[in-house]
Structure 1
Amino acid sequence: MKLKFDGFIIALIFMIILAYIFPDIAAYMDGRFLEIITSVGVALVFFFYGLKLSFNEIKHGMKNWKLHLSVQLFTFALFPLLVLLFRPFVHTETQEQFWLSFYFLAALPSTVTSSVVMVSIAIGNVPAAIFNASISGLIGVAVTPLLMHFFLEVEEVNVFAELYLGLLFEVILPVIFGLIIQPYWGKWAHKYSKALSNFDKGVVLLIVYGSFSESFMNDIFNTIGTTYLLSLFAGVIALFFTVYLIILILVRYVLKFNREDRISALFCGSKKSLTHGSVFSKFLFANNPKMGLFILPLMIYHAFQIIVVTIIAQRLGKQKDEN
């Protein structure tokens, strides 16, 4: 079995190293230059996202409502509820920071591209994966900030002014504009979907660089130890397999989905979007020097989910071919 190498993970690691060696680049023009570049980049990412959405696909996909409702509940209810179970054990500032970084991960929407690709490899319900991954991103624009603002300090983030206003101009309006002109430019977006996907990744890399540069300049990582980092890795692995096993039990024995729908529910419901997470962190943790720590579990989860789900998808696809 050949495991496809993901260069994006290496690029993420490189940007963290770059932020460590040259953090001052992010401070050029008091940080305004990088902020403008990323803001324009984010707006374009979501404009292209809207441009690739199809009203006909969304309308057709709504027929399998039981599967779609299940996936969205896994994404926006199961994940946060699992992390909320550990809230009573949070007592110190470090524990609060650790817990909040995982809750942020849990509150995010599912991925788009990788979910569809993995479902395709496993020979699952690809149209359902496209629908759920696309709708998840749109739902996340409203639900993720709502889930998060209950646990954010008002002094750190003005939820109603900075967060939603920023999301309006950089996320919601670009998506709407993309949807409006989709009938005219949709084919172009699908034709160059690979190039647009690379553009998305480039914007994420810029946000990651900016986040970690600020954290390194404020010596945030010097305040945590090896135990903290090891706990992050252990927590990410435990969260992924817990969610995956719960979804597997539900779709097989409770909801009794067929094979194709089970695969779509498993892969879409257990994944989290690094693209959306990077963008949302830009608003949710605005001017917070610990931003790098808050997105670290998400980056670990992103890498882990790609490796594990790729292996699972290839095995499921091979089993289908043999039958």
Structure 2
Amino acid sequence: MRIPFLDGFLASMLIAIAIALLMPQLGASGGVLHLDTLTHIGVALVFLLSGAGLSTERLKAGAANWRLHLFVQLSTFAVFPLVGLLVNLSVGHWLPRELMLGFFYLCALPSTVSSSIAMTAMARGNIAGAVFNATLSSLIGMLLTPLYVSLFLSAASHGAPLLDQFIKIGEQLLLPFVVGQCLRPWIGDWITRNKPHVGLVDRAVIVMIVFNSFCDATRAGVWTQYGAGPLLITALLTGALLAFVLTLTHFIATRLRFAVDDEIAAVFCGSKKSLAAGAPMAALIFGSGGALGLIMLPIMIYHQLQLITCSVIARRYARRPAEIGEQAAHSA
């Protein structure tokens, strides 16, 4: 299974950022392309297609392994946010507020769906468990991510009404997802057959959000205000975060004597963060404006780092003798 990193998607994001730096008026909110409106429509379409493409049979196949599920969800929604809080408390007063908000937002996001499953499959891990946990994480994230962000902002005296955030998430994400599930009997097979083309919709919407947010940030003078510092700081923080979580999830999974295939699903699902969910939710939670580009920097960089790093780890797992995974699975 091919892992999409350093491909057309990354190139598209880099081109969008370059254009945003040179011609911010083109994609800014209220500009000639009206991207702020188009992205709202695109986000709803993405989650409708996600709901229609979700196979309940595959979810049921992985539902029984409660130790794996508890491990992944605690890593995603307890360990990550705790790390985000500790980083903010320790170095947050030295760094731009929007950047630290973006770092905590990264920590509060759900796990990825497609790449977690792809990495687990490449490594010959528990694919059913990965499907269940990635999907469960996405659903939990619709509630916990805005809640965590609201509590973080309230503690910093910049709180936004939590009910308003939940209403936006419900209207833009949850409702289209539910409608998609209802439409699955009629369009589910078509989505499965055309999965590569459907995936282009997700990527196009993410690129639009990135373009819109960076145009707004450039027009607001964010990059001239902070210079190259935010990019370097974000790369260092997100790289350290990824290394820490990968090490921690692997260490705990082995100490809990997980079977190798469960360990693989635990490491990949428990260490990843979703740009596909993070970009739309950021636009809904924080709104359009100059700060959104800086807020989204951590998840954009983390997304690429996790794909590159985890693909290397997946290949190492895949090289293990087949009998090791089988023996471990029988002994669990």
Interval containing the TM-score (normalised by the shorter chain): over 0.9
Alignment of 1:11 onto 2:22: no
Point out the more displaced range, 213-222 or 92-101. 92-101
| Contact kept in structure 1, 2:92 and 2:100, CA below 8 Å | no
Unaligned runs of 5+ in 2: 325-332
| Contact kept in structure 2, 1:123 and 1:316, CA below 8 Å | yes
**Alpha-carbon shift at residue 25 of structure 1 (Å):** 1.6
Aligned-partner residue type, residue 251 of structure 2: I
Distance (whole Å) between structure 2 residues aligned to residue 204 and residue 106 of structure 1: 19
| Contact kept in structure 2, 1:157 and 1:286, CA below 8 Å | no
Point out the more displaced range, 67-76 or 201-210. 67-76
Point out the more displaced range, 83-92 or 289-298. 83-92
Q: Percent same amino acid at aligned positions?
A: 35
Alignment of 1:151-190 (within 5 A): 151-152=152-153, 157-161=160-164, 163-190=165-192
Distance (whole Å) between structure 1 residues aligned to residue 132 and residue 151 of structure 2: 29
**Alpha-carbon shift at residue 31 of structure 1 (Å):** 7.2
- Relative to 1, partners in 2 of residues 1:22 and 1:248: Cα closer, same or farther, differing over 3 Å? same
Distance (whole Å) between structure 2 residues aligned to residue 61 and residue 120 of structure 1: 14
**Alpha-carbon shift at residue 317 of structure 1 (Å):** 0.9
Aligned-partner residue type, residue 226 of structure 1: A
| Contact kept in structure 1, 2:213 and 2:288, CA below 8 Å | no
Distance (whole Å) between structure 2 residues aligned to residue 67 and residue 247 of structure 1: 11
1:229 maps to: 231
Distance (whole Å) between structure 2 residues aligned to residue 98 and residue 282 of structure 1: 15
Deviations 1:264-285 (A, max 9, x none): 0101111111111101110121
Alignment of 1:249 onto 2:272: no
Deviations 1:166-223 (A, max 9, x none): 2122111111111112233221111111111111000000000000000000110111
Alignment of 1:58-97 (within 5 A): 58-89=59-90, 92=93, 94-97=95-98
Distance (whole Å) between structure 2 residues aligned to residue 18 and residue 321 of structure 1: 48
| Contact kept in structure 2, 1:50 and 1:177, CA below 8 Å | yes
- Relative to 1, partners in 2 of residues 1:29 and 1:236: Cα closer, same or farther, differing over 3 Å? closer
| Contact kept in structure 1, 2:101 and 2:295, CA below 8 Å | yes
SS across alignment from 1:62 = coil
**Alpha-carbon shift at residue 165 of structure 1 (Å):** 2.1
Distance (whole Å) between structure 1 residues aligned to residue 87 and residue 134 of structure 2: 28
1:36 maps to: 37
| Contact kept in structure 2, 1:80 and 1:103, CA below 8 Å | yes
Alignment of 1:289 onto 2:290: yes
Distance (whole Å) between structure 2 residues aligned to residue 119 and residue 55 of structure 1: 19
1:214 maps to: 216
Alignment of 1:89-108 (within 5 A): 89=90, 92=93, 94-108=95-109
Deviations 1:233-269 (A, max 9, x none): 111110001011111111001x211000000010111
Aligned-partner residue type, residue 231 of structure 1: I
Unaligned runs of 5+ in 1: none
**Alpha-carbon shift at residue 62 of structure 1 (Å):** 1.5
Normalization by structure 1: what TM-score? 0.92
- Relative to 1, partners in 2 of residues 1:31 and 1:132: Cα closer, same or farther, differing over 3 Å? farther
Q: Select 2:206's aligned residue among 182, 193, 204.
A: 204
Distance (whole Å) between structure 1 residues aligned to residue 80 and residue 321 of structure 2: 29
**Alpha-carbon shift at residue 73 of structure 1 (Å):** 0.9
**Alpha-carbon shift at residue 319 of structure 1 (Å):** 2.5
Aligned-partner residue type, residue 173 of structure 2: V
1:56 maps to: 57
- Relative to 1, partners in 2 of residues 1:60 and 1:316: Cα closer, same or farther, differing over 3 Å? closer
| Contact kept in structure 1, 2:47 and 2:177, CA below 8 Å | yes
**Alpha-carbon shift at residue 6 of structure 1 (Å):** 2.7
| Contact kept in structure 2, 1:90 and 1:96, CA below 8 Å | no
- Relative to 1, partners in 2 of residues 1:156 and 1:205: Cα closer, same or farther, differing over 3 Å? farther
Distance (whole Å) between structure 2 residues aligned to residue 84 and residue 27 of structure 1: 31
Alignment of 1:127-166 (within 5 A): 127-152=128-153, 157-161=160-164, 163-166=165-168
1:117 maps to: 118
How many residues align? The count is 320
| Contact kept in structure 1, 2:125 and 2:265, CA below 8 Å | yes
